[in-house]
């Protein structure tokens, strides 16, 4: 019995210590698609990284330990290349001035020993950039967002590599929602406002946008941000008198609510409208 207990203790006992390349994850909604990168994060630790530890022109797992994994909840494009919904591995071939990035189907691999080029989905090239400050830990991050896309940066030591990722179906997804919701919007001012705002920002049917924003204001005329949009849509449609009235009312409400940013935006809009009258 004592021997059996010792065996069980030896199997179950363990000591948790910090990992030299801790597992990290960064998730971001790009357009309307969720994008997640899961990767192990090595450190510089006084070493020369690119052109040293990680040789130029040699396949790299783009991190440490298991393959770096890219998960997308819907179809995206990366540097113009279409990528279906799913999970993928990110490999790379670092170069002094340019990297080859590789999207591979096999996420269940560590290192590069089991890498098969035949499982590549696509490859693309991106230039390198020297950073103003050193990065001790290998890092993925997102920036430069638009309604449909973002930039993905990889930084380590003093090197940055950036590639673009896009949700190519944002308009299709939003328009499907608008068609469904606006078929029977009832008396919900938020639906009218959201639909009008999307049509305005994407330069679609401005007459339809005006009908929706006017209905939103009719249902609730105490929201300065809604009246500000009403002013912009009327101004875009050449309805300068009603646009000016909406901008002035929006400014008044914004001032009452202590929102100086909207007061200033309305002042600019009032000046712009007045110049056109």
Q: Where are the domains positioned within the chain?
A: 19-166, 170-276
Cβ atoms of 272 and 244 within 8 Å: the answer is no
Instruction: Give the contacts of 65 (CB within 8 A, at least 6 positions apart).
Output: 21, 23, 40, 110
**CA atoms of 62 and 38, how far apart (whole Å):** 11
Express as a percent the part of the chain with pLDDT over 70.
96
- The per-residue pLDDT for 13 is 73
Each as own residue / partner, the long-range contacts of residues 174-180 (CB below 8 Å, 24 or more positions apart, any chain) are 174/32, 174/198
Compute how many other C-beta atoms are within 10 angstroms of the C-beta atom of residue 6.
10
Instruction: Give mean pLDDT, residues 5-18.
Output: 68
Q: At CA 195, angle to CA 194 and CA 199, rounded to 5?
A: 115
pLDDT digits (tens, 9 = 90+) for 232-267: 999 999 999 999 999 999 999 999 999 999 999 999
pTM to 2 decimal places = 0.86
Secondary-structure class of domain 170-276 per CATH: mainly alpha
Cβ atoms of 41 and 25 within 8 Å: the answer is no
Q: Which two tokens stand for residue 210?
A: 């005006």
pLDDT digits (tens, 9 = 90+) for 86-95: 999 999 999 9
The sign of the torsion formed by the CA atoms of 58, 59, 64, 70 equals positive
Cβ atoms of 81 and 104 within 8 Å: the answer is no
Structure confidence at residue 20 as a pLDDT band (50, 70, 90): confident
3-state secondary structure of 95: coil
Which of 5 and 163 is assigned the larger pLDDT? 163
Cβ atoms of 121 and 83 within 8 Å: the answer is yes
> Minimal CA–CA distance to 170: which of 201, 137, 136?
201
pLDDT digits (tens, 9 = 90+) for 120-160: 999 999 999 999 999 999 999 999 999 999 999 999 999 99
- The per-residue pLDDT for 18 is 87
Cβ atoms of 148 and 166 within 8 Å: the answer is yes
Strand ranges for 33-169 from DSSP E: 33-40, 64-72, 76-78, 81-83, 86-93, 98-104, 120-143, 149-166
- Residue 6 pLDDT greater than 60, yes or no: no
Q: Which residue's structure tokens are 């279906």?
A: 84
pLDDT digits (tens, 9 = 90+) for 96-114: 999 999 999 999 988 888 8
pLDDT digits (tens, 9 = 90+) for 174-209: 999 999 999 999 999 999 999 999 999 999 999 999
Angle, helices 260-276/224-236, rounded to nearest 10 degrees: 20
> Minimal CA–CA distance to 147: which of 201, 193, 196?
201
Angle, helices 240-256/224-236, rounded to nearest 10 degrees: 160
- What is the chain's length? 277
């Amino acid at each position: 019995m004592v021997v059996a207990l010792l065996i069980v203790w030896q199997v179950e006992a363990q000591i948790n210590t910090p990992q030299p390349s801790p597992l990290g994850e960064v998730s971001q909604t790009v357009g309307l698609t969720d994008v997640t990168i899961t990767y192990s994060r090595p450190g510089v630790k006084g070493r020369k990284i690119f052109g040293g530890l990680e040789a130029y022109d040699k396949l790299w797992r783009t991190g440490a330990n298991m393959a770096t994994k890219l998960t997308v909840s819907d179809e995206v494009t990366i540097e113009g290349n279409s990528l279906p919904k799913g999970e993928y591995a990110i490999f790379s071939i670092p170069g002094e001035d340019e990297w080859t990035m590789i999207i591979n189907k096999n996420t269940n691999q560590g290192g590069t020993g089991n890498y098969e080029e035949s499982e590549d989905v696509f490859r693309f090239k991106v230039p390198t950039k020297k950073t103003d400050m050193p990065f001790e830990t290998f890092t993925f991050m997102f920036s430069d967002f638009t309604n449909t896309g973002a930039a993905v940066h990889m930084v380590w030591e003093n090197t940055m590599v950036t590639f673009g990722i896009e949700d190519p179906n944002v308009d299709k997804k939003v328009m499907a929602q608008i068609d469904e919701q606006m078929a029977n919007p009832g008396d919900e001012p938020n639906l009218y406002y959201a639909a009008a705002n999307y049509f305005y920002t994407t330069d679609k049917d401005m007459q339809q946008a005006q009908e929706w924003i006017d209905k939103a204001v009719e249902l609730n005329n105490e929201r300065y941000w809604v009246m500000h949009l009403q002013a912009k849509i009327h101004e875009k449609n050449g309805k300068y008198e009603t646009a000016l009235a909406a901008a002035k009312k929006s400014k008044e409400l914004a001032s009452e609510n202590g929102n100086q940013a909207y007061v200033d935006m309305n002042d600019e809009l009032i000046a712009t409208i007045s110049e056109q009258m």
